[in-house]
Structure 1
Amino acid sequence: MDTYEQKAYEEVQVWLRKLQKPSSMPQTLTKNVQTRMNQFVPKKFHTMMGQAVKQMVEGVLSGSQYLPNKKEQPAQTLKEADERMEALISVFQKGAAAEGAGTGAGGLFLGAADFPLLLGFKMRFLFTASQIYGLDIYDFRDRLYMLHIFQAAFSSPAKKQETAKRLENWEEYIQNKPRKLSMAKEMDWTSFQQEYRDHIDLVKLLQLMPGFGAVIGAAANYHLLAQLGYAAKEGYRLKWFYMKEKQEN
């Protein structure tokens, strides 16, 4: 490793340790607030959210709707990959904020429509960014890796701990998995969507409130893309090191 890669490797280890921290008091309080607020949200909205996440998981594992229009060439160095990643995060943050402001200004129904739209934004970002770090977007195992990065960004402390351990032992986990898989049977999508909803419910539910939904929608989407961007950068760095080690051996 050169100096830059050594520093990046240390930052990845810090990220993995953060994922394995237990739940804090503020997180517990936030969860309690979310539970109370959910009682006032129409059941139809919750159903729509669950269906959107299910379709997203199936689309990632076996579909093509999230494939980027423009093919990104893999970076030659990790430093180049990181620089291109930072630029990509900025582009997607601005796009997500604009979309969140538009739907947030429309009240309950347009605010609800933002949920699947934002999911699509996030997955297109993950697919595009993965190419920069040399992942194969047509390989089921790399798509599965993307979903684990998504969970590392948006899930409970317990699920983050579980995800971190799997990422740390990724090569062992995928050892006997095929390059192609026609059905999305590797992920428990019900658990997956619940983790995601529980993580972002509070901020997205506030977006549905009349009067200031647009402001919250823009800020929420901008923040959520930054959160995903951080997880993707560190997660794809980790994958970079796995691939480099495999090439050297």
Structure 2
Amino acid sequence: MFSYESRVRKDLERWKKEMRKPPSLIERASKGTQKTVTRMFPEKYHEVITGAIKSITTTVLLGTGFVSSKPLHGLPLEERERRVRDKGKIYATTAAVEGAATGAGGFVASLADFPLLLGIKMKFLYEVAAVYGFDTSSYEERLYLLHIFQLAFSSKAHVNEIFEKMESWEHYVSSLPKELDDFNWRSFQQEYRDYLDLAKLMQMMPVVGAVVGIYVNNKLLKKLTETAMNSYRMRVLK
């Protein structure tokens, strides 16, 4: 019988191959469609997204606003990942409830979903880091969280760029920005917004908004859980 770690290594290699794949023709063509969707949103929408992204990245980079558990040491990988999955289910439920509430409220309420959902996702990543034994009081570790976030919610082309950095994190970390203004939060904002625009447009629709909010937010947290687990597997299984 294969050990848990050996099974995880195989799963990790499959995931890494997927991260390295270049954008398909359909994925490249979808960028044009995305720009069309983006133009359908009022200016207020773009203001809220830009402000929320800048605020959350500033909070993460400065290490304020999120309180994480202490890093766990001495646990086998299987137990760590059981805890991560359990936390993922809890946060996915929280995100789904929040999505239902804001989706039911129409356009104005849906705008509130962005900062709330961002906060839920980032808090979850802080928790995951601690479970895998990493200390988010370190600036570099908090930057790693932002890279995980981008890996989960970006276009395929941007995923390729981010993943290349994360694969050689120890080497890359020495060249990371040391000042807040050096972090390209605008690119971060653009990728995240483009990733979510179509789903959020549907969430703002009357009647179906609540159902869409439940489905989308739950799915986004599941995607983040998978991405975070594999991102930390790359480091703990070296």
- Scaled by the length of structure 1, the TM-score of the pair is 0.88
Output the amino acid matched with 1:51. G
Contact 1:75–1:133 (8 Å) recurs in 2: no
Runs of at least 5 residues in structure 1 that lack an aligned partner in the other structure:
243-249
**Alignment pair present for 1:184 and 2:183:** no
How far the C-alpha of 1:72 sits from its partner, in A, is 6.2
2:204 — aligned with what?
A: 208
Equivalent positions of 1:23-172 (< 5 A) are 23-28=23-28, 30-68=30-68, 70-71=69-70, 73-74=72-73, 76-172=75-171
Distance 1:92 1:75, change over 3 A: farther
- TM-superposed CA distance for 1:25, in Å, is 4.4
Residue 189 of structure 1: how far off its partner (Å): 0.3
- Residue aligned with 2:157, SS: helix
Q: Is the CA contact (8 Å cut-off) linking 2:71 and 2:132 kept in structure 1?
A: no
Q: Displacement, 1:31?
A: 3.5
Measured after TM superposition, the shift of residue 35 of structure 1 is: 2.1
In structure 1, give the amino acid aligned to 2:183: M
Code of the residue aligned with 2:99 in structure 1: it is G
CA RMSD of aligned residues (A): 2.0
The 2-side partners of 1:26 and 1:110 are apart by 33
Q: Letter of the aligned partner of 1:7 in structure 2?
A: R
Q: What letter matches 2:127 in structure 1? A: T
Partner of 1:237: 233
- 1:174 partner SS: helix
Distance 1:5 1:186 in 2: 38
Three-state SS of the structure 2 residue aligned to 1:210 is coil
Structure 1 residue 87, shift from structure 2 partner: 0.6
Is this contact kept in 2: 1:19–1:160, CA < 8 A? Answer: yes
Q: Which residue of 2 aligns with 1:173?
A: 172
Structure 1 residue 32, shift from structure 2 partner: 3.6
Q: Which amino acid aligns with 1:219?
A: Y
**TM norm structure 2:** 0.92
Give aligned pairs, total.
237
Match of 1:11 in 2: 11
| 1:115, distance to aligned residue in structure 2 (A) | 0.6
Q: Structure 2: how far apart are the matches of 1:114 and 1:176? A: 34
Match of residue 198 from structure 1: 194
Does 1:21 find its partner at 2:21?
A: yes
Give the partner amino acid of 2:85. Answer: E
Q: Indicate the percent of aligned positions where both proteins have the same amino acid.
A: 38
Change in 2 beyond 3 A, CA 1:75/1:110: farther
Render the CA deviation track for 1:198-220: whole Å, top value 9, x for unaligned. Answer: 11111111101112100001110
Letter in 1 for 2:198: L
CA positional deviation for 1:185:
3.6
